[in-house]
Chain A
Amino acid sequence: MTTFFNLTLAGLSSGAVFAALGLSLVIIYRATRVVNFAQPALALISSYVAYSVTKGTGSYWLGFAAAIVVGTVLGIAVERLLVRPLRNAPELSPIIATMGLLLVLQAVAGMIWSNEPHAFSYAFDFRGRFSAADLFAVLAVLVTATGVLLLFKFTSLGLRMRAAAFNPEVARLLGVRVGVMLTLGWGLAAAVGSLAGLLAVPPFISPTVLDEVFVFALTAAVLGGLDNPLGTIVGGLALGIGLSYVAGLLGPELVPLAALAILVSVLAVRPAGLFGRATARRV
């Protein structure tokens, strides 16, 4: 029973990270119908910025803030410079472009910060069963996710962003600046993704450190139906706990395999996600 409890707690904090990175994918997917494969690279660059700022100033929180700011700016830049020019190209083009950017940014990170791992600190003490750092991860993600959901549901900006995502043409006819909404969406998503990166990276940062987390985050997003923010958060937490059971009871080497098995099963059985509505969306 204690084992079970411990595994659940351990799963909760990693699940929170999957949820946050998954959420950043979903915000973009529902706005632009693009799975942003560059998301882990954006989070990686901002985490490296945090590493450098923290190293230079000695303050973890200055690094943290710098990472969120840089992440947001990167997200906006990717939308403006890479995705928007491809808006009339075939659907797959922007997705391939973000994949290309992932490889480029990982290489650039290696060139600037080297491919050797550097020590990357936790926000708080990380020792113990459910440490302060774990608690911070869970709280930070829950607060952020709640903020994003409230923004979408209850603010006029959120309403405009949803309208621009659901039906850009009608949104324009109602005076919504759809381009601005897309840019804001990418900025917001990249900020959330950067938070996920900061939580997922420790104890060591290297250019490929987020690859595995990204697979889990993508699984969480698919579990949630890819355009359902709440579903993705629930999916991320459930996946974290589930994988923690797999690691604890069957062996940690089976974790990536289990995640992929879940991904494939969901896509095969419920392609709209566990929480996706059955209604087919016109794209």
Chain B
Amino acid sequence: MLEIEGLSAHYGPVRALSEVNLKVEEGSITAILGANGAGKTTLLRVISGLVRASGGRVTAFGEDITAMPTDRIARSGVAHVPEGGGVIPELTVEENLRLGALWRPDRADRARALDEVLELFPPLAPRRSKAAGTLSGGERQMLAIGRGLMGRPRMLLLDEPSLGLAPLVAAKIMAVLRDLRADTGLTVLLVEQNARSALSISDYGFVLGLGEVVASDDAATLLADDQLRHAYLGF
């Protein structure tokens, strides 16, 4: 599904990722964990082409996307919900959502996707003609994820979806992701600082430390590894 081999990335002279190897199985939820500055966000940004790799390769759906422009990667079925959601506050809720599907030619299916997303996130429905800037933090995150789903992606990249949310709201978002995968077989790559909640819905986990993969295993095994938890996951 997604294969990352020997991936490196730099910001000027600063090395953000070094020789990262990682694999995401189709239909799985895979968590990327690690402290601030470990390279989690950079990893997602390299996958979607916002940051160019300085070495290595990203393969998605059997196609090398390492040098592909961001908009083409999106149109190939990779939906990246950036940190904070990237909701456009000047546009209405519905405009934000519609934007996620505009590249798809099937008009009728775009309308269906809109209905499905509004059903998936009921708080958005009554606010669809309001400016997205008026939403609460939790609603914004729902909008951002919903917008990603509008394109009917094969893979969803999520950057810290629970950041800054009340624990209850964060748990709700995690539950939605778990149900989505169960219902539709969507592949999810989930970046989180909140390791415990991310691992609770994940199949696999990769732990990054200073731009390198320091551990990778089944989610359950990672959760049970006390030493790792203390050293990298902070709980």
Contact = CB atoms under 8 A, between A and B. Distances in A.
Interface in A167-191: 167, 169-178
22 contacts: A159-B95, A162-B90, A162-B91, A163-B91, A163-B99, A167-B86, A169-B50, A170-B88, A171-B71, A172-B50, A173-B70, A173-B74, A173-B86, A174-B74, A174-B99, A174-B100, A175-B71, A175-B102, A175-B151, A176-B102, A176-B103, A177-B71
Contacts of A173: 48, 50, 70, 74, 79-80, 82, 86
B98 interface: yes
Interface string B35-64: 000000000000010100000000000000
B196 interface: no
Contacts of A176: 71, 99, 102-103
B75 interface: yes
A166 B102 contact: no
A156 B98 contact: yes
A172 B88 contact: no
Given A172-B70, A175-B75, A166 B88 contact: yes
Contacts of B133: 279
B71 A170 contact: no
B140 interface: no
A175 B48 CA distance: 11
B147 A174 contact: yes
Contacts of B75: 175
Interface in B118-169: 133, 147, 151
Contacts of A175: 71, 74-75, 102-103, 151
A75 B24 CA distance: 45
In this complex, the member of B75, B79, B100, B102 whose beta carbon has the largest number of chain A beta carbons within 10 angstroms is: B102
A160 B102 contact: yes
Interface residues of A, number: 18
Contacts of B95: 159, 162
A182 B147 CA distance: 23
A159 B90 contact: no
B100 to A, nearest CB: 5
Contacts of A279: 133
Interface of B: 48, 50, 69-71, 74-75, 79-80, 82, 86, 88, 90-91, 95, 98-100, 102-103, 133, 147, 151
Nearest to B50: A169
A29 to B, nearest CB: 15
B86 A170 contact: yes
A177 B133 CA distance: 24
A162 B89 CA distance: 12
Contacts of B70: 172-173
B103 A166 contact: no
B71 A166 contact: no
Contacts of A162: 90-91, 95
A173 B96 CA distance: 12
A183 to B, nearest CB: 14
Contacts of B103: 174-176
A170 B159 CA distance: 13
B11 to A, nearest CB: 15
Q: Which of A162, A163, A279 has the most CB of B within 10 A?
A: A163
A167 to B, nearest CB: 5
Interface in A220-255: none
A166 B99 contact: no
Given A162-B90, A166-B88, A166-B90, A174 B102 contact: yes
Contacts of A163: 88, 91, 99
Nearest to B74: A175
Contact of A160 (B48, B69, B79, B99): B99
Contacts of A174: 74, 99-100, 102-103, 147, 151
Contacts of B151: 174-175
A171 B87 CA distance: 10
Contact of A156 (B50, B86, B90, B102): B102
Given A173-B82, A173-B86, 7 more contacts: A162-B91, A170-B86, A172-B71, A173-B79, A175-B151, A176-B71, A279-B133
A173 B150 CA distance: 12
